[in-house]
Chain A
Amino acid sequence: MTATRLFVDFGSTFTKLVAFDLEGERLLGRAQVPSTVDTDITIGLEQAFALLSETVAFGEDDKRRTVACSSAAGGLRMVCVGLVPEYTLEAGRRAALGAGAKIVGSFSFELTESEIREIEDIRPDIVLLTGGTDGGNKKVIVHNAAMLSRAGKGVHNVIVAGNKSAYDHVRALFAGSHKNVSFSRNVMPEIGVLEVDAANDKIRELFIARITEAKGIARVRSLIGDVLMPTPAAVLEAATLLADGAPGEPGLGELLMVDVGGATTDVYSVAKGTPTNVLVRFTGLPEPYAKRTVEGDLGLYHNLDTLKAIAERQAVPEGFEEAVAAMCRHNSVPEGAGQTACHLLLSSVAVRSAVDRHAGSLKTLITPNGEVTLQRGKDLTQVAWLIGAGGPVSFSADPGAVLAGALFEPDLPTVLKPKAPEMLLDEQYVLFALGLLAQSEPGAAVRLMREYVVPLAARRSAPPAGGSGKEPERSGDHVPV
């Protein structure tokens, strides 16, 4: 077995291939070609292999050992069905997000016939059914199971992660329905307790076993190892590893990561987030240590209108309107000073808005016993590391300015963003690959991250030609290192 390891990210627009040498522990090179998932995903993969082979030597065995993640064919599309919106539905949503899913529908209380039609039309890859604490409410989850069991073809895979006392009944309802139903532990076994890990694992299992098959992604199994997880899950794995380290390889400690893309902005925090001020009381659902949120309406290409509208609440530079229009026409590198300024502004708006929503907040109340301050969400003020990922940040003319949107603002002291973190950059777009490598060789993955997730001040190279999206650069580009 050679020391070369290959990793692929099947994106919706690009197929990205990254090669590492595990012996020398270095990045050998990367290649990127337009995605061919709509026709035959293996075509793009073969093209990426061919392109990479121009600069990196690797053999058939290396190809066969390649592991992959995917956000192609719409990513992992999930519908969450729960009971109360703020409790078991929210717990289900967090499990789905942590597993790297894209939430395409959320439903609470008893499903109606029209909601079932809606879910059928959405055709989700998975429906996550929650509701009730263990021993708690059975009525609603049983009703919803009955409704889902009678749903048409649009509903196929169902994961149940609700009140365990209802499982026998739920199982009986699905018997003979030809739905693929699996059971996991309750995401909210008791009030105020969140347990998303088991559901998370179940989602990934199903993703590997069934979803990739249904989307035509599994065809690549004839060429490479396996498609292990959705891309955001790989990035969350990388973020967690970077924070926690591996046996013998210390991590950085608590961190915040922002990944700006063409269609969405993802925020990952690996931090407890408990109040840093002893006088502050925590309220609301407990927060997962490794947390992902995704802003589906904040993208540097597909959802530019939202970003533009937010940016326009403040003063915008001259020629902003035209520059945005030009960016909409070409999903490409900003040209000229005007477009560059506009791109910078919109990227920082994306980062600021997404991190504002991810971070916790404080609210002060006056009571007969004096002032009381309540915290909802994570306190990230003392987080020491802020990591930028995704084309619009990594290949930006001024990543520091873009990431500054994630910093604590003295004018907005109730939003608990990091006060003085050191900024790092996933300059080479390797985090997904290292998240995948972490599954088998966590120690090497940590060391490689230290090497390739670089301090802003020490960027190795001038920014390569960039574009918008987590899938940056020109197609057919390869960057030998």
Chain B
Amino acid sequence: MDHLGCIITGTVGVDAHVIGTKIISRALRDAGFKVVELGAQTPAEEFIMAAQETAADAMLISSLYGMAEQDLEGFRDKCTEAGLDGILLYLGGILGVSRRDFAEDEAKFKGLGFDRVYPPEADVRAAIEDLKGDLERLRRNDV
């Protein structure tokens, strides 16, 4: 493999805040990943179809407009139907209404099947290190 893994990125739903996901995509590429960049306003279903087509290893989903919970309803279940068992799901951004406690959001989305959840001020480099670690662990478990 000439890359570390295939990653899908984009902002989900009708969220048009595209800068965050562009930075993430760039950083992932620089770190040696193959990136399928879906960009802004991507329906949840498109993330799944793109992951199926590319046999992706992970999805890094951004949401900054407070609708993540609705946009990503049943997302892990949908991945299961689509045969994406074990795909890594990362989510970051402004996930709920302002003033909310991040720990609450994190717990909620982990409960919905996301592997990692990041607040808006998270460092993309730290997230990429997490991703490398998670992928390595998964591959070890596979063999």
For residue A190, CB closer than 8 A to chain B, the reply is yes
Is the Cβ of B74 less than 8 Å from the Cβ of A192?
no
Which residues of A, 183-235, contact B by the 8 Å Cβ criterion? 188, 190-192
Q: Chain B 81-111, CB within 8 Å of chain A: the 1/0 string? A: 1111100000000100110000000000000
Chain B interface SS verdict (over half) = loop
For residue A16, CB closer than 8 A to chain B, the reply is no
CA distance A450 to B25 in the complex (A): 61
CA distance A133 to B83 in the complex (A): 8
**A contact residues around B73 at 8 Å (CB):** 283
**A contact residues around B67 at 8 Å (CB):** 365, 367, 372
For residue A369, CB closer than 8 A to chain B, the reply is yes
Distance in angstroms from B71 CB to nearest chain A CB is 9
CA distance A136 to B44 in the complex (A): 16
Distance in angstroms from A241 CB to nearest chain B CB is 33
**B contact residues around A144 at 8 Å (CB):** none
CA distance A139 to B86 in the complex (A): 13
CA distance A86 to B49 in the complex (A): 19
CA distance A82 to B64 in the complex (A): 34
CA distance A365 to B66 in the complex (A): 10
Q: Chain B 53-90, CB within 8 Å of chain A: the 1/0 string? A: 00000000000011100100110011011111100000
Is the Cβ of A132 less than 8 Å from the Cβ of B77?
no
For residue B134, CB closer than 8 A to chain A, the reply is no
- Taking CB as reference atom, which chain A residue is nearest B64? A368
**B contact residues around A192 at 8 Å (CB):** 43, 45
Is the Cβ of B52 less than 8 Å from the Cβ of A367?
no
CA distance A365 to B67 in the complex (A): 9
- Known A-B contacts A283-B73, A369-B66; the reply to A138 vs B48 at CB < 8 A is no
Is the Cβ of B98 less than 8 Å from the Cβ of A191?
no
CA distance A191 to B78 in the complex (A): 7
**A contact residues around B44 at 8 Å (CB):** 191
For residue A463, CB closer than 8 A to chain B, the reply is no
For residue A55, CB closer than 8 A to chain B, the reply is no
- Known A-B contacts A135-B52, A283-B73, A369-B65; the reply to A191 vs B81 at CB < 8 A is yes
**B contact residues around A365 at 8 Å (CB):** 67, 70
Distance in angstroms from B24 CB to nearest chain A CB is 20
Distance in angstroms from A358 CB to nearest chain B CB is 21
CA distance A190 to B78 in the complex (A): 10
Is the Cβ of B65 less than 8 Å from the Cβ of A84?
no
Q: Chain A 62-90, CB within 8 Å of chain B: the 1/0 string? A: 00000000000000000000011011100
**A contact residues around B82 at 8 Å (CB):** 132-133, 135-137, 190-191
**B contact residues around A457 at 8 Å (CB):** none
CA distance A136 to B52 in the complex (A): 8
Which single member of B70, B74, B83 contacts A86 (CB below 8 Å)? B74
Which single member of A83, A86, A188, A368 contacts B65 (CB below 8 Å)? A368
Is the Cβ of A137 less than 8 Å from the Cβ of B70?
no
Which residues of A, 243-299, contact B by the 8 Å Cβ criterion? 283
- Known A-B contacts A86-B74, A190-B49, A191-B48; the reply to A368 vs B66 at CB < 8 A is yes
CA distance A366 to B99 in the complex (A): 12
Is the Cβ of A87 less than 8 Å from the Cβ of B74?
yes
Distance in angstroms from B50 CB to nearest chain A CB is 12
For residue A374, CB closer than 8 A to chain B, the reply is yes
Which residues of A, 134-149, contact B by the 8 Å Cβ criterion? 135-139
**B contact residues around A83 at 8 Å (CB):** 80-81
CA distance A135 to B82 in the complex (A): 7
- Taking CB as reference atom, which chain A residue is nearest B13? A281
Distance in angstroms from A84 CB to nearest chain B CB is 4
**B contact residues around A88 at 8 Å (CB):** 81
**B contact residues around A131 at 8 Å (CB):** 81
Is the Cβ of B52 less than 8 Å from the Cβ of A368?
no
Is the Cβ of B85 less than 8 Å from the Cβ of A190?
no
Is the Cβ of B45 less than 8 Å from the Cβ of A191?
yes
CA distance A83 to B74 in the complex (A): 13
CA distance A449 to B81 in the complex (A): 43
CA distance A372 to B44 in the complex (A): 18
**A contact residues around B80 at 8 Å (CB):** 83-84, 137
Q: List 17 A-B contacts (CB under 8 A).
A: A84-B74, A84-B77, A86-B74, A132-B81, A133-B83, A136-B52, A137-B83, A138-B83, A163-B83, A191-B81, A191-B82, A192-B45, A283-B70, A283-B73, A365-B67, A368-B65, A374-B70
New contact pairs (14) apart from A84-B77, A367-B66, CB-CB < 8 Å? A87-B77, A87-B78, A87-B81, A88-B81, A132-B82, A132-B83, A133-B83, A136-B84, A137-B81, A188-B81, A190-B45, A191-B44, A283-B70, A367-B65
